[in-house]
């Protein structure tokens, strides 16, 4: 039981607890704000995987920008009045059964399959290595990303401005 394992468990608890609040809270603003500990927990998990650049991005984009976006959306719609969302419906019991079956399946797969261990050293996740990767071998993906961003920007503006 070394420090990393302890850190992993703590971060896992934070992430799962945050996620639980997001999914089950009847107050939608609470759900949105609970995203923050969830994202920060994931950030910690990235750090444990030696991917600090990705961790930094996670905080910057998810906890910083996406949460703000979601909160703006909530505050602009009726959910913002503190309308309490119903958390259960007539199919809750059946849904719980399906969820448990799914969980059992995933756990069985994760623990019983003999995953091949990766050979060689861990690839470097420093900003320098990432930069060399997407400016070199993965160039097409990189330029493709800019097109995807452009398309999503245009699409969102078209949809949001439709009301006039």
Partner 1 sequence: MLLDWAYVAVFAVVGAVMVALPLAVIWLISPRSAYPLKRETYESGMPTIGQAWAQFNVRYYLFALVFVVFDVEIIYLYPWAVVGRSLGALAFVEILVFLVILALGLVYAWRKGALEWM
Partner 2 sequence: MPWYLELLRAAAGTVIIFSAVAVVAAMFGVLLERKISGWIQSRLGPKHVGPQGLLQTLADTLKLLQKEHIVPRNADVVIFSSAVIVVPLAALLDYVVIPFGTTRWGPLIFRDLNIGLLYFAATSSLVVVGILMAGWGSNNKYALLGGLRAAAQMVSYEIPIGLALVTVAMLAGSLSTVTIVNAQAHLWYVVVQPVAFLIFLTAATAEVNRVPFDLVEAESELVAGYFSEYTGMRFALFQLGEYGEMFAMAAMAVTLFLGGWHSPWPGPSLPPVLWFVIKLYAVIFVFMWVRWTYPRFRIDQLLGFSWKVLIPVALLNLVATAFVVMVLHR
State which residue, 27 or 133, has the beta carbon closest to partner 2: 27
Q: Which phi and psi angles does 124 have, rounded to 5°? A: -80, 135
Binding flag, residue 119, partner 1 (CB under 8 A): no
DSSP secondary structure, 31-64, as one string: HHHHHHHHHHHHHHHHHHTT-HHHHHHIIIIIII
State which residue, 15 or 43, has the beta carbon closest to partner 2: 43
Q: Looking at residues 53 to 112 of the shown chain, list those that interact with partner 2 (rule: CB under 8 A).
A: 53, 56-57, 59-60, 63-65, 67-68, 71-72, 75, 82
Binding flag, residue 122, partner 1 (CB under 8 A): no
Stretch that binds partner 1, among 31-39, 70-78, 97-105, 112-120 (CB under 8 A): 70-78
Q: Looking at residues 122 to 141 of the shown chain, list those that interact with partner 2 (rule: CB under 8 A).
A: 126-127
Binding mask 4-43 for partner 2 (x = CB under 8 A): -----------------------x-xx--x--x-------
How far apart (Å, rounded) are the C-alpha atoms in residues 52 and 130? 11
**C-alpha 80, offset from chain centre:** 23
Binding flag, residue 3, partner 2 (CB under 8 A): yes
Residue 27, SS3? strand
What does the buried/exposed string (b/e) look like for 21-36 if buried means 16 or more CB atoms within 10 Å of the residue's CB? bbeebeebbebbbbbb
State which residue, 60 or 149, has the beta carbon closest to partner 2: 60
Residue 118, SS3? coil
Binding flag, residue 47, partner 1 (CB under 8 A): yes
């Amino acid at each position: 039981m070394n420090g990393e394992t302890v850190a992993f468990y703590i971060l896992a608890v934070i992430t799962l607890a945050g996620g639980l609040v997001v999914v089950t809270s009847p107050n939608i603003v609470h759900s949105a704000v609970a995203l923050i500990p969830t994202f920060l927990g994931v950030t910690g998990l990235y750090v444990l995987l030696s991917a600090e650049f990705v961790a930094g991005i996670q905080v910057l984009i998810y906890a910083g920008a996406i949460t703000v976006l979601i909160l703006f959306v909530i505050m602009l719609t009726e959910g913002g009045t503190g309308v309490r969302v119903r958390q259960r419906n007539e199919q809750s019991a059946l849904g719980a059964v399906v969820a448990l079956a799914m969980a059992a399946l995933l756990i069985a797969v994760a623990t019983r399959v003999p995953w091949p261990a990766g050979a060689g050293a861990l690839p470097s996740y420093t900003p320098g290595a990432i930069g060399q990767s997407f400016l070199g071998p993965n160039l097409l993906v990189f330029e493709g990303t800019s097109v995807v961003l452009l398309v999503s920007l245009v699409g969102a503006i078209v949809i949001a401005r439709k009301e006039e």
